[in-house]
Chains A and B, each alone.
Chain A
Amino acid sequence: MSEPARDIATLSWWMFAIAAVVFGGALFLLLLAWMGRGREGFPVIGKREKLESRAVVLFGIVIPVVVLVGVFAFANLVVLKDTDAPKASSTALTVEVTGHQWFWEVRYPGTRAVTANEIHIPARTRVNLVAKTDDVIHSIWIPRLNRKIDTIPGHPNRILLYADEPGRYRGQCAEFCGLQHAHMAMYVFADPPDRFRAWLRNMQRPEPAPSGPSERSGERTFMDGQCASCHTIRGTPARGDIGPDLTHLRSRTTLAGLTIPNRGGYLLRWIRNPQHFKPGNKMPALGLSDRQLQKLVTYLEGLR
């Protein structure tokens, strides 16, 4: 959890408690009415109308005004400070997250590091998250860290990311963005600061040329085939910008926006038929032979 998420939770519990009291009171009155269902004849009307109108004024106007003013002040004057965009001077690091149909591109301005769907941040550090989009409106939402923020074309938005504890926090797209809105999740890894720095150093490093013959053959398939026209691997001629940057792919725990794990035979199965796990995504089946596939995967698994 983090401070903004905790404050929102506190606010929620207060509002739910107040709502429960109001709901309980109204149910009680309806129950009283139910118990009077056997009464005979016409009700006495006209004599007490003033009293009843006053009850409506009290319960329908006076009490709600008092409660609502309280909720308003607490929520929109106190808690709102946490969820607003952080002051530029108050953050130690900026992460730029760009929504694509259907993956998240993650950049660390000032460095060459680029990754996808898995955001690393140092724990206990105020991070400035810049939310952008390459196509339609998405919404970045990591519920245990902060409120959600929409990615609006032409209007970059900012929120604070702050994790109290190192750990893995799940996030996902919250604004309907087309066919694979459901498979557009992300992880935020809050690492101890040392580990984060090490991770970032590694991320900045271009990929060295592969050593083994299988890897080299796989690399050729990647560069000569269609892969390189959509994906980038820094340190190689691959410069495509349709799909996610694959530099250091092996360092990620998942593929395709958390759709499948990045281990076992999943990468191979993904490349063989990308439309199986995530129908509608932009990656076509390439029709590679099993041998080519195997070498391609060997190459990609060497991108650490």
Chain B
Amino acid sequence: MASVAAPKARERIDRLQRIWEEPSGVVGWLTTVDHKRIGLMFFFTSLAFFAAGGVEALLIRTQLISPNGGLLSPNAFDEAMTMHGVTMIFLVVVPMSIGAFGNYLLPLMIGARDLAFPRMNALSFWIYLASGIFVYTGLAIGSAPNAGWFDYLPLGSKQFAPGPNIDFYTLGLIFNGLSTTATAVNLIVTTFKLRAPGMSLNRMPLFCYAMLATSFALVFALPPLNTALIFLELDRAVGFHFFDIAKGGDTLLWQHLFWIFGHPEVYIIILPAFGIATAIIPTFTRRKMVAFPLVALAEVLVAFIGFGVWVHHMFAVGLETITTIYFAAASLIIVIPSGIQLFAWITTILTGTPRFKTPLLWIVGFIVLFLLGGLSGVTFAAIPFDQQLTDTYYVVAHFHYVIFGAAVFPLLGGMYYWFPKVTGRMYYERVGQASFWLSFVGMNLTFFPMHIVGLLGMPRRQYTYPSGLGWTGYNLVETIGSYLLAAGLLLVVTNLAVSLFRGARAGNDPFGGDTLEWSTSSPPPSYNYAVIPRVTSPYAMWDREDREADERDLAGGGKRVLETGHETPASSVLDADWDEVLDMPSKSWAPLLLAAMLAATFAMLLTRHYVVAATCGALALLVLGGWHWKEPQEA
């Protein structure tokens, strides 16, 4: 649309540009409320943590390359494996999928000009960044969390872990959860209220369904985690006894609370990836998704049923048989919605005209890996099998197929897919394909032998292992695989980094995409759309007449142009009827300041300076008061 030459249109675009422009330079980034800039900051931060988590993984694999390895001390190994888990789950996959992809793409896909709460969005990012630094401070001072990412008690209690290691974990994750909750609420409200008038729920892209389901799951899954973390911190800091069996507490309470969060978290991790898959597949097969309503329903069902299966993480703790049987049945039921999606993707590819370009390759890789991870996951619903294989490398293999294969592969595919949109440049296709194959082979070499070594009896989380048990060769292959995988990932980053400067110009829609983001310029202007797009189907970009109508509106003016203020329209929840015009907040220092005050509060709680902590908390409230300071708007 930026290319439209009509003088009226030019004038409108210039005016929008002026209204929505943010300062350039560092100050612009520090005060931004633009969902695209915040999305990018989420992206680069989570990429940095991905690198850190990757280095931890390589340390673990190098330690285990042969029996009786001597690279890491037992404590260094425990810190590496705990930090690897905490980093990848809380600081990489979730922030990257909802913070980066959701943030950047969701408003574009629904034709909105920003998220519903732009300043809260900025706050989400700053809290996320601060919480990541908070947790890594533990590592920097040699007191990183070291009781595993699910921190079972009493191992993580004051008695058995007297240092500050576990406090970095509990306080860091409570802090981090604020960010995630805020993002989830923001995405829910945005999806329900900010869809372009006309985009009724049944016309919403499946990517947005996935983000919506994820956000709802987050809002309900985080409270049990926060409860557990607060209980634990009270135990550790002030001598409560929630988990102390001698004083009437119960250690199993931790496991229940943690996994009530932990299992939905698995779906929180992979649902956005499902969304990315359902965005990429139609584009590269030039075909609408098969069984659209079933897939939308399945995405929502997965998020819902995911709350009823947590005990399958606890089949070996000795619960009543009848309890375990119930949860085994629930765990089997969740296979169904996953199966629906899987076969819908395969059928869509099979009956379309697939072009196996880099993004689709990652998605096909994802389908294969998710299938393997899903099939090994089903075996855990067979209770005796679970009781035999839980806490072995078979489980490590399973969840890496799910988390790395099913969640990270689509994220990597998504990086390639939306790279032209975000940067305006194309990546190198052949290097992209090479990076896929290298990663795919590396991934399977690393994680497939873990199934076998688990079946051969190797427990997880051992800093070393003896020779003569048949584990040695497999471990060697796994370590070689992990280095190949790291090379593949480096190739992805290199490809994109070089393309950023040297790639060919992409244009608005290099792939013939099906969703709205492809209709605006690459990169999108700060106001996203000069004209709020018309939508009559879930494949808005393939409805030529609607896009031409948008162009006419821009020249002719009208309700959908909204050129007079910092505004975006709100619509009704189900049918997306035009509701009202929202006056959107603009740049602010408040989110950054508030996050800094909160970080100080948590740091003081960690060092047990409660008065200072309360003072910082009070300052945070003051900043919150300044939150609603409003910039004068252009009339």
Contact = CB atoms under 8 A, between A and B. Distances in A.
B234 interface: no
Contact of B388 (A48, A148, A180): A148
Contacts of A64: 335-336, 339
A285 interface: no
A30 B346 contact: yes
Interface string A60-94: 11001100100110111001101111000000000
A12, A84, A85: residue with the most chain B Cβ atoms closer than 10 Å:
A12
Interface in A12-53: 12, 15, 19, 22-23, 26-27, 29-30, 32-34, 36-37, 39-43, 45, 48-49, 52-53
Interface stretch (B19-27, B211-219, B315-323, B545-553): B315-323
A170 B469 CA distance: 10
Interface stretch (A114-122, A136-144, A296-304): A136-144
Nearest to B160: A136
Given A42-B353, A136-B155, A15 B385 contact: yes
B384 A152 contact: no
A242 interface: no
A157 interface: yes
B237 interface: no
B317 A41 contact: no
A260 to B, nearest CB: 10
B384 A75 contact: yes
B353 A41 contact: yes
- Which of B245, B328, B388 lies at the interface centre, i.e. has the most chain A CB atoms within 10 A of its CB? B388
B250 interface: yes
Interface string B39-82: 00000000000000000000000000000000001110010000
A153 B154 contact: yes
A174 interface: yes
Interface in B323-354: 324-325, 328-329, 332, 335-336, 339-344, 346-347, 349-354
B152 interface: yes
A43 B285 CA distance: 8
Nearest to B288: A45
A152 B251 contact: yes
Contact of A143 (B286, B321, B457): B457
Interface in B370-393: 371-372, 375-376, 378-379, 381-385, 387-388, 390-392
A29 B388 contact: no
Contacts of A172: 457, 459
Interface string A134-168: 01110101010001111011110110000000000
B384 A7 contact: yes
B328 A43 contact: no
B354 A37 contact: yes
A77 to B, nearest CB: 8
Contacts of A71: 332, 378, 381-382
Contacts of B368: 26-27, 30
Contacts of B465: 182
Given A154-B251, A178-B160, A56 B459 contact: no
A279 B318 contact: no
B73 A279 contact: yes
A75 B461 CA distance: 28
Contacts of B341: 60
A179 B388 contact: no
Interface in B286-323: 286-288, 290-291, 294, 316-318, 321
Contacts of A101: 160
Contact of A75 (B288, B376, B385, B460): B385
A209 interface: no
B347 A52 contact: yes
B628 interface: no
A272 interface: no
A83 B319 CA distance: 13
Nearest to A131: B318
A286 interface: no
A131 B318 CA distance: 10
Interface in B440-470: 455, 457, 459-466, 469
- What band does the interface of chain A fall in when counting residues whose beta carbon is under 8 Å from B? 35 or more
Contact of B383 (A75, A137, A155, A179): A75
A255 interface: no
Contacts of A34: 354, 356
A288 interface: no
Given A37-B356, A49-B290, A76-B328, A56 B340 contact: yes
Contacts of A174: 316, 390-392, 459
A129 B71 CA distance: 37
Interface string A186-204: 0000000000000000000
Contacts of A136: 152, 154-155, 160
A65 B80 CA distance: 41
Contacts of A266: none
A280 interface: yes
A4 B325 CA distance: 18
A267 interface: no
Contact of B352 (A43, A61, A181): A43
B385 A11 contact: yes
B406 interface: no
A152 B318 contact: yes
A161 B28 CA distance: 67
A154 B245 contact: yes
Residue of A79, A149, A157, A176 contacting most chain B CB atoms (<10 Å):
A176
A56 B343 contact: yes
B430 interface: no
B344 A56 contact: yes
Contact of B459 (A5, A45, A141, A147): A141
Interface in B352-373: 352-356, 364, 367-368, 371-372
B491 interface: no
A8 B380 CA distance: 12
A68 B332 contact: yes
A177 interface: yes
Given A49-B290, A149-B318, A26 B388 contact: no
Contacts of B294: 53, 56-57, 60
Interface of B: 73-75, 78, 147-148, 152-155, 160, 245, 250-252, 285-288, 290-291, 294, 316-318, 321, 324-325, 328-329, 332, 335-336, 339-344, 346-347, 349-356, 364, 367-368, 371-372, 375-376, 378-379, 381-385, 387-388, 390-392, 455, 457, 459-466, 469
Given A43-B351, A157-B318, A177-B155, 11 more contacts: A15-B378, A42-B286, A45-B287, A45-B288, A59-B343, A68-B381, A136-B152, A148-B316, A175-B391, A179-B74, A182-B465
What are the 9 A-B residue pairs with the smallest beta carbon separation, nearest first? A75-B382, A147-B387, A157-B318, A182-B462, A60-B340, A154-B245, A19-B375, A176-B461, A60-B343
